[in-house]
Amino acid sequence: MDKVTVTIDGIQVTVPKGTTVLEAAKQVNIKIPRLCYHPDLPPVSGCRLCVVEIEGDRLLRTSCSWKCQDGMKINTKSQTVRSSRRMALELILSRHPMLCTECVRNNNCELQSIADQLGIRETRFEYSARPGGIDDSSAVLVRDPSKCILCRRCIQTCELVQSVSAIGLEGRGYNVWVDTPFGKGLDDVACVSCGQCINRCPVGALYEQDHVARVWAALDDPTKHVVVQTAPAVRASIGEAFGMSAGSLVTDKMVTGLRMLGFDKVFDTDFTADLTIVEEGTELIGRLTNGGALPMLTSCSPGWINFIEHFYPQLLPHVSSCKSPQQMFGALAKTYYAEKAGIDPKDIYSVSIMPCTAKKYECQRPEMRDSGYQDVDAVLTTRELAKMMKQVGIDLPQLEPGKYDEPLGISTGAAVIFGNTGGVMEAALRTVYELVTKSPLENVEIKQVRGMEGVREAEIDLNGTKVRAAVANGLANARQLMEKIVAGEADYHFVEIMACPGGCIGGGGQPIPTSMEIRKKRVEAIYAADRALEIRKSHENPAIKKLYAEFLGEPNSHKAHELLHTHYTRKTVYKETVA
Amino acid sequence: MHRNHVLVAMDAHTIAQGARAVRDALMRNLEMTSLTSEVKVVETGSLGIYNRGVVLVIFPENVYYVGVKVEDVAEIVSEHLIKGRVVERLHYTDVPVEKAAEMGAAPRFGKQQRVVLKNAGIIDPESIEEYIARDGYEALGKALTEMKPQDVIEVVKKSGIQGRGGAFFPTGLKWSFAAAEEAKQKYIICNADEGEPGTFKDRLILEGDPHCVIEGMALAGYAVGADMGFIYIRGEYRMSIDRLNRAIQRAKENGLLGENLFDSGFNFNIEVREGAGAYICGEETALIESIEGKRGEPRDKPPFPPSVGLWGMPTIVNNVETLANVPQIILKGADWYKSMGTEKSPGTKVFTMVGNINNPGLIEVPMGTTLREIIYDIGQGIPEGKGFKLAQMGGTTGGILTGAHLDLPMSVEALREIGSGLGSGALLVVDDSQDVVELVENFVEFFNHESCGKCTLCREGNGRLLELLQRINSGKGHVADLNLMEELAVTMMKGAFCGLGQAAPVPILGCLKYFRDDFVRKIEAAEMAAAA
Amino acid sequence: MQDLTRVDEIVGRYADTKTPLIYILKDVQKEYGYLSDVVLTHIAKKVDIPLSEIYGVATFYSLFTIKPKGKYVVRCCNNAPCHVKKSKEVLEAIKSYLGLEVTETTECGTFTLEFTSCLGLCAVAPVMMVNDEVYGNLTPEKAVAILKDYKMKGQSNA
């Protein structure tokens, strides 16, 4: 590869051709401030905070977009650079309400920390509010344009990462702002509630609908039996919210923390992830042998379900009828568990901890009441759980290990990898292989479906029968696959889609910040969790076997269908409007 | 054969003063007097006379009438066209007649030299035949039959012509970048998104002589290997759009656009694309975004359009005036072109004189003509005996010139030396009765309205500059505000995303530099009034 | 319910034009007077561009409007060349005659008052436009007289 050598503040550094000044500066340990740049997105070069001076150039250049050229001499700290950054930040701050203590992002705000970094305590301009009021029409997301700094990360995320384009710019110049078309509100456009915009928002202009208060209320209510389930991806990320490095696996500490919060039972979504695999694997085998819509598409990512309902309703017959693990858990908690524990299901309050924001919508779907009650009562994101713990001074990194409660806390390695892109596919193949071939799978790690590429394909030999599989993460990649299917150019049998980049570990409810680097570390932690478990195939989970024996009968039984399967709704991208 | 031709200037200026009604009255009158077979009425572009109402010229006598109203038409027809007597009360004689005759038509040619405007106001812009009769499309024929694309680039390079949109980048060099790119498709874009206040040269070139721009584009296409061109024009320029579309159609019918031109195997087509009201689209990458159907926001550069432009393909974006020069450069050679203007800025420059000036309008002079010559000789000075306060060269983003600059030659290099530029060629003359602080507020109002909003410095910076200026103009300012304004303006100039944000502070800093006392006096007077 | 068949026709007109969104919006606005939610949503479906993007374009360019406008749109120029020829006085006279601030529309729907970008008619500054007609060398009295004519025309056509 071609290399170029540049001098940054007197330090020479050699980098591959095409490296930006920002990246090169990072290599010599200079962290250039920036607000609109995000490593997941193409540079906008809009905030003008990352400017640097380049010898011989009359203009300042944005380091996020400016490429290193051989012999370039760069100054990142000259008086001109400092005063320009200061001015740009003052201009941004003077249109930001500066109500830090009232803000959901207090202490985790890029604007706040850059103001601190540059030592700006006040601005020389009077506060001038941005147009646009709070939009809390969605069951999941809240937008507060008054806090927006117009970095455009949310728009780019929605358009480029997710190909949803629910929000965009309105107007121009001093009065430009981010909004849904005609200010309809998120509930009125095809927002899929993935929450990826929240993960990339540098400030508190985007956040999830708060479920913390209702969970506290349930915990405080002595008549309620409060159970909690934790999604696979949460254990690999919540440590970050407490200052631990990305990729810290804190399953046991988290369990202890949840008990300290007062949950009566601490269960694991991994239990129903195993159940999902058995149900979905059986469904796939059924479709392969009896004929059914192929490829079969996975159904555990609620952002993805929202997406396909709105954008590809014609493909809904392809989607597995299995509920997501969260909802299977919810249905069982108020039936199977209630029966076993002898508790009236109306007294059970079911909480889930999710890396996901779309789960907040999923739990409120009218079809998710098969127990006779709302199956899952509240969904907390990883961030919200961390917040609850912090509120009562629980210092997660220091906690002693704890163990999940039985039986809904028993799980396998196949379940935990649900948190990664490719994980559902791998878990399903581990089970399907053995169910079809009736012989044990030698190497359970199916590496062909692992990785971080947007779309991956693999072919697995099931004793002569080849199963063609595809995996996509991020909805823009999912769209690519759907287009292929619509065009009749795809001959897959089984397709796994996760709405978020990297899968649930990169979910919209995960700790901020996110980046490819961080997501990769979380993925590694999840695979490590898999390796550490003795049982690594879902159908071997003893608690699942017991569940079938005691309660459900057999996979895809009538009762299983009643509680664990669902149906989907054809929707449109645009609501029909009447003039 | 017609014995008389009556040219009716039909540009937006004269239309704004009732030219259509006069033309209609003229046609009616000729019909009534049965003169239609003897007298031909020709609608033409601007005749170079402004602010004098509707303008007519009658050939072959070469008599100019100005301020013509509907009720004057009968008299002109009966007196001049029937009896051969000049209607003195409307006769415009403010021009050395022999000079005008020598140049073909228009008056006020004292210091002017017409290259780009050689046909404007003389030929019927709707007639491709008249363009062809005056060497039109000869350069294209010459290039396609006798020259290689590289030769065309060499001539343009050697001529030294620089982009007339305001940046004055060497045109030949720009072309050579696109020529060097390997690509399936390349594009030529004519930038006719003339939005700089006070600038209307491009419109008048397009209205007066559309074919010279079409020919220039075809030559550019041949030089760089592009077979498709777009003219991006302001949506407000209704008449130019219609005229251009007709001119393109006529060129196609005559085999001068389309396939296999001059049997050379070279194809070239042109489409007109209209803007929808955004000054920023004059910036070449914003213009490209707009053609692509998006918000007209500028792109990061590099890559520059000659490498990655329209729909990702190599693209040359040239200003109307630049392209209008090209056919004559090819026809008459680089040395001819270099014989005009200064050594570093060859050729002529079209200026529009506006503001407090007696003789506003479009002029074409050699590069290097002094400001004094333009304002006082050609422009005939400032009305009502008022004094000269300042001039702004290049539109609202242009630099500020004061009395001390009156003898400065108007050339790229001379203006660059004082940190200014020629910009779009609009020259706003401001008399000494004007309030500079209000004028600056007016400038900033414009930028605030036209900023695209992409970058912090331009979006918020212009808003804040406006706020500070409004404060001063409403008597609530402080002297410290001037320092903040200056600091903000300097930051924008060095750090804004694109040319708009970088240029917006130029006139503000200029006025603060030369007229700081005006600001201070205003602030102090308000403070004293408040204290009293 | 707005009749959307004309939108289909307009979209069809540009079937062979690459990236024709701005042309479509222009023609549609001409047809319907403004770019309504219903109309833009219909265009979004037809051309397969997200509504958010179309809306961003429609609100970026000053010649587009997402709100209905008056029968006569009065566009005053207030750029520097008009400013030094006292366009402000003209504007003030128009404002008080119409009883409008800039960007407002009269209750009866006859007039909308706006600014225009420079029309390049600076040699006859100050200028204004009423719909597609341009008027130059304005004085406050002259401007009001012109608008009076329009007012009468508007009433007689009503």
H-helix or E-strand spanning residue A169: strand A168-170
Does residue A458 surpass a pLDDT of 90? yes
Chain B partners within 8 Å of A50 (Cβ): none
Structural domain includes residue B110: no
Q: What percent of chain A has pLDDT over 90?
A: 96
CB atoms within 10 A of CB B142: 16
B168 and B99 in a common domain: no
Chain A partners within 8 Å of B495 (Cβ): 48, 51, 59-60, 84, 87-88
A240 a catalytic residue = no
Domain boundary among B36, B69, B103: B103
Catalytic residue among A110, A280, A426, A496: A280
- Is B229 in CB contact (< 8 Å) with chain C? no
Catalytic residue among A283, A309, A426, A434: A283
Contact (CB, 8 A) for A196 and A301: no
Structural domain includes residue B75: yes
Spans in chain C with pLDDT lower than 70: 1, 157-158
| Residue B61: domain span | 4-103
A359 a catalytic residue = yes
Catalytic residue among A309, A362, A384, A496: A362
CA torsion sign for A234, A236, A238, A241 is negative
Instruction: Name which of B281, B451, B456 to mutate to probe chain A: the one with the most chain A Cβ atoms within 10 A of its Cβ.
Output: B456
Chain A partners within 8 Å of C47 (Cβ): none
DSSP letter for each residue of C46-105: HHT--HHHHHHHHTTSTT--SS---SEEEEEE-SHHHHTTTHHHHHHHHHHHHT--TT-B
Contact (CB, 8 A) for B117 and B309: no
Query: Quick check: C1 and A579 CB within 8 A?
Result: yes
Tokens 């210091």 belong to B111
- Is B460 in CB contact (< 8 Å) with chain A? yes
Distance from CA of B498 to the nearest CA of C (A): 17
What residue ranges of chain A are covered by domains with CATH 3.10.20.740? 3-93
A554 a catalytic residue = no
What's the average model confidence in pLDDT over A549-572?
97
User: What is the rounded CA–CA span in Å between residue A433 and residue B47?
Assistant: 86
Total domain count, chain B? 4
Measured between CA atoms, the residue of chain B closest to residue A65 is B300
Option in A159, A171, A180 nearest C59 (CB) = A171
B138 and B276 in a common domain: yes
B373 and B279 in a common domain: no
Contact (CB, 8 A) for B447 and B500: yes
Interface of B with C in 442-471 (CB under 8 A): 442-443, 445-446, 449-450, 452
Measured between CA atoms, the residue of chain A closest to residue C55 is A181
Query: Quick check: A125 and B450 CB within 8 A?
Result: no
A191 a catalytic residue = no
Domain boundary among B298, B320, B338: B338
Chain B partners within 8 Å of A43 (Cβ): 300
Spans in chain B with pLDDT lower than 70: 1, 94-110
Instruction: Name which of C5, C21, C47, C55 to mutate to probe chain A: the one with the most chain A Cβ atoms within 10 A of its Cβ.
Output: C55
- Cα A141 versus chain centre, distance: 13
C-alpha distance across the termini of chain A, in Å:
59
Catalytic residue among A146, A193, A299, A320: A320
Instruction: Work out the angle at residue A51's Cα, subtended by the Cα atoms of residues A46 and A53, and round it to the nearest 5 degrees.
Output: 145
- pLDDT of A276 reads 98
- Is A80 in CB contact (< 8 Å) with chain B? yes
B397 and B308 in a common domain: no
B391 and B448 in a common domain: no
At position B221, the amino acid (one-letter code) is: G
- pLDDT of B124 reads 87
Distance from CA of A96 to the nearest CA of C (A): 23
Q: Assign a CATH topology to domain C72-157.
A: Glutaredoxin (3.40.30)
Does residue A452 surpass a pLDDT of 60? yes
Chain A partners within 8 Å of C53 (Cβ): 159, 165, 168
- Cα B86 versus chain centre, distance: 34
Tokens 């390079």 belong to B157
B225 and B334 in a common domain: yes
Structural domain includes residue B16: yes
Q: pTM of the prediction?
A: 0.92
Instruction: Name which of A164, A191, A573, A575 to mutate to probe chain C: the one with the most chain C Cβ atoms within 10 A of its Cβ.
Output: A573
Interface of A with B in 477-536 (CB under 8 A): none
Chain A partners within 8 Å of C117 (Cβ): none
Does residue A579 surpass a pLDDT of 50? no
How many beta-carbon pairs under 8 angstroms link B with C?
139
Query: Quick check: A174 and B460 CB within 8 A?
Result: yes
Interface of B with A in 294-313 (CB under 8 A): 295, 300, 302
A280 a catalytic residue = yes
User: What is the rounded CA–CA span in Å between residue A229 and residue A270?
Assistant: 9
- pLDDT of B97 reads 38
Q: Mapping DSSP to helix (H, G, I), strand (E, B) and coil, where does residue B408 land?
A: coil
B418 and B361 in a common domain: yes
B427 and B440 in a common domain: no
What residue ranges of chain A are covered by domains with CATH 3.30.70.20? 121-208
Query: Quick check: A170 and C38 CB within 8 A?
Result: no
Does residue A508 surpass a pLDDT of 80? yes
Chain A partners within 8 Å of C38 (Cβ): 577-579
Option in C45, C55, C60 nearest A182 (CB) = C55
Option in B295, B300, B495 nearest A60 (CB) = B495
Contacts for A334-339: CB closer than 8 Å, 24+ residues apart: A334/A371, A334/A372, A334/A373, A334/A375, A335/A371, A335/A551, A335/A563, A336/A547, A336/A550, A336/A551, A337/A227, A337/A408, A338/A371, A339/A551
Quote the ipTM score: 0.95
Query: Quick check: C37 and A169 CB within 8 A?
Result: no
- pLDDT of B309 reads 98
- pLDDT of B48 reads 72
Structural domain includes residue B295: yes
Structural domain includes residue B115: no
Mean pLDDT of chain A: 96
Tokens of A235: 């254990």
Distance from CA of C142 to the nearest CA of A (A): 33
- Is B131 in CB contact (< 8 Å) with chain C? no
- pLDDT of B315 reads 98
Tokens of A289: 């042998």
B245 and B163 in a common domain: yes
B273 and B258 in a common domain: yes
- pLDDT of A296 reads 98
Chain B partners within 8 Å of A122 (Cβ): none
Distance from CA of A125 to the nearest CA of C (A): 26
Query: Quick check: B428 and C81 CB within 8 A?
Result: yes
Catalytic residue among A55, A339, A367, A562: A367
- Is B396 in CB contact (< 8 Å) with chain C? yes
B423 and B353 in a common domain: yes
- Is C59 in CB contact (< 8 Å) with chain A? yes
What dotted CATH number matches A121-208? Answer: 3.30.70.20
- Is C40 in CB contact (< 8 Å) with chain A? yes
Tokens of A53: 């001076």
What residue ranges of chain C are covered by domains with CATH 3.40.30.10? 72-157
A362 a catalytic residue = yes
Selection from C98, C85, C43 nearest residue C66 by Cα: C43
Class of domain A222-564: alpha beta
Query: Quick check: B487 and A87 CB within 8 A?
Result: yes
What's the average model confidence in pLDDT over A237-260?
98
Pick the CATH number of A3-93 from 3.30.70.1400, 2.70.70.10, 3.40.50.720, 3.10.20.740: 3.10.20.740
Chain C partners within 8 Å of B511 (Cβ): none
Domain boundary among B338, B364, B394: B338
Query: Quick check: C79 and B290 CB within 8 A?
Result: no
Selection from A557, A442, B296, A210 nearest residue C64 by Cα: B296
